[in-house]
Amino acid sequence: MEEIFGIIIIRDLVRWIGKYCRYFFYKLMGKKISVKKLSSNYRKDSDYPNAINQDIINAVVGTTVFIILSCIVAYLVFK
């Protein structure tokens, strides 16, 4: 049970990290985009394929950043 709980927490954490990393990247580049537009919330009036696309991009970016941060923390701890 705790493995499933851990997977759900990591999944949500990775997507949250990915969403906000993309948001800050767009903000640094000077583009006006909202966090809500980068999220994958599906509503009746939204575009479902776009929501899936945003979720996949958030997961990839979040996983990459999470792995890099984990490696940095491990390096600092075991140095």
The confidence score (pLDDT) of residue 13 equals 92
Tokens of 39: 């999220």
The confidence score (pLDDT) of residue 38 equals 84
pTM of the full predicted structure?
0.81
3-state secondary structure of 6: helix
Yes or no: say if 55 and 15 are a contact pair by the CB < 8 Å rule.
yes
The tens place of each residue's pLDDT in the chain, 79 residues long, gives 778 888 888 889 999 999 999 999 999 999 988 888 888 775 655 677 778 888 899 999 999 999 999 999 999 999 8
N-term to C-term CA, the chain? 34
The confidence score (pLDDT) of residue 29 equals 94
